[in-house]
């Protein structure tokens, strides 16, 4: 006998509409309840870079902005005849003084909780970076301090910072050293990879980059660096503002019209290249560093005596 075919149309699920700069980080089906005495209901759960969305079929149950989350808790609850880890999310909506809570159960609850903590509650300051850096080797420290300064970086940039040509070395530093140390100290990874994410200051999309989790505290806004090149007749005088480095940390080289300055300080590693107005040579150069101002004197190539 043929099985009877249902004449009921299948209910279609709809995905909540995302904002232009919004990307999906985690998505899972699970259960939720609004308070401890309520029964569990099936829902779809989506975590984006801006909010947590709970919905059933075509109805959005709750939208929780990341900046509205005030606490996260984990408890054991019965769900589908067994005890599971449930995440309690305490939050407030904008303009409301009332704290609400919703409990969710999803596969990989520890991953969801760590990601929510990273995005909503983690506060990162220079003291925390210093504590983590003390537990790492030089290459890992260089990566960590660079991301503290820049917030995000592509793997090519991180490879240059820690002095390697192998991208796999960078991945091993992050996955086998930096993030495990962070998990032991703060309970979650500190560095994470995003295929696409909007820059917090400009909103421009940043592609395929590693990011520092959490919100930075006590970090002054970046200021434009002082840099001038003066033509003094037979030589160029370059003045560049540098911070947190000593003269011995700097490696300076010249190739035709290109001046390269590299800092090898563990807490401030960087490489910058400048285009000179004319060809210069490195012979008989002069370098001084006073009060964070680096002065370099380079002779012009056409002024050198054969």
pLDDT of residue 7: 57
Average pLDDT estimate for 149-164: 90
In a domain, 220, yes or no: no
pLDDT tens by residue, 288-304: 988 788 999 998 887 65
Residue 31 and residue 96 share a domain:
yes
Domain housing 238? 227-303
Identify whether residues 116 and 127 lie together within a single domain: no
Residues 207 and 282 in one domain: no
Q: Are residues 140 and 167 in the same domain?
A: yes
Domain membership of residue 5 (yes or no) is no
- Between 220 and 296, the more confident residue is 296
29 & 115 share domain: yes
pLDDT of residue 104: 96
Task: Specify the CATH number for the domain of residue 29.
Answer: 2.30.29.30
Boundary of a domain, candidates 105, 121, 137 = 121
Q: Is 244 found in the same domain as 206?
A: no
**Which of 121, 140, 160 marks a domain boundary?**
121
Q: Please tell me the pTM assigned to this model.
A: 0.65
Q: What is the pLDDT of residues 112-121, one digit of tens each?
A: 999 999 999 9
**Among the three residues 179, 213, 247, which one is the final residue of a domain in this structure?**
213
Residue 8 domain-assigned?
A: no
95 and 46 share one domain: yes
pLDDT at 204: 80
* Chain Cα centroid distance, residue 268: 17
Least confident of 27-31, 135-139, 225-229: 225-229
Average pLDDT of span 101-105: 95
Phi/psi-derived region of residue 284, left when phi > 0, alpha when psi is between -120 and 50, beta in every other case:
left
What is the domain count for the chain? 3
Kindly write down the DSSP assignment for every residue of 206-264, as one continuous string.
EEEEEEE-SEE-S-PPP-PPPEEEEE-SSEEEEEEE--S--GGGEEEEEETTEEEEEEE
- pLDDT, residue 13, reads 64
Q: Is the pLDDT of residue 212 over 90?
A: yes
Q: How far apart are CA 154 and CA 206, in angstroms?
A: 9
**7 belongs to a structural domain:** no
- What is d(CA 49, CA 199) in angstroms, rounded to the nearest whole number? 11
List pLDDT tens digits, range 247-256. Answer: 888 889 888 8
Query: Same domain, yes or no, for 206 and 129?
Result: yes
Answer whether 113's CB lies under 8 Å from 72's CB.
yes
Mean residue pLDDT across the chain: 86
Task: State pLDDT tens for residues 233-242.
Answer: 888 999 988 8
């Amino acid at each position: 006998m043929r099985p009877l075919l249902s004449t009921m149309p299948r209910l279609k699920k709809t995905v909540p509409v995302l904002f232009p700069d919004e990307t999906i980080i985690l998505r899972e089906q699970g259960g939720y309840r609004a308070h401890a005495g309520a029964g569990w209901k099936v829902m779809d759960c989506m975590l984006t870079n801006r909010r947590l969305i709970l919905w059933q079929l075509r109805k959005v149950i709750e939208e929780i902005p990341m900046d509205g989350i005030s606490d996260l808790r984990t408890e054991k609850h019965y769900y589908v005849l067994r005890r599971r880890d449930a995440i309690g999310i305490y939050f407030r909506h904008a303009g409301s003084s009332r704290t609400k809570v919703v409990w969710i159960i999803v596969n990989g609850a520890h991953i969801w909780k760590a990601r929510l903590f990273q995005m909503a509650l983690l506060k990162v300051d220079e003291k925390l970076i210093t504590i983590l850096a003390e537990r790492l080797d030089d290459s890992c420290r260089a990566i960590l301090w660079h991301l503290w300064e820049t917030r995000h970086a592509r793997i090519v940039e991180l490879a240059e910072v820690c002095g390697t040509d192998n991208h796999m070395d960078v991945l091993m530093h992050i996955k086998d050293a930096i993030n495990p140390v962070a998990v032991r100290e703060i309970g979650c990874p500190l560095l994470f990879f995003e295929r696409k994410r909007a820059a917090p200051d400009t909103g421009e999309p940043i592609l395929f980059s590693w990011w520092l989790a959490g919100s930075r505290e006590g970090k002054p806004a970046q200021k434009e660096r002082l840099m001038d090149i003066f033509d003094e007749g037979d030589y160029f005088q370059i003045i560049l503002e540098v911070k947190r480095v000593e003269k011995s940390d700097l490696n300076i080289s010249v190739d035709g019209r290109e001046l390269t300055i590299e800092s090898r300080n563990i807490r401030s590693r960087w490489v910058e290249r400048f285009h000179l107005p004319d060809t210069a040579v490195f012979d008989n150069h002069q370098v001084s560093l006073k009060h964070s101002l680096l002065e370099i004197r380079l002779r012009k190539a056409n002024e050198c005596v054969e």
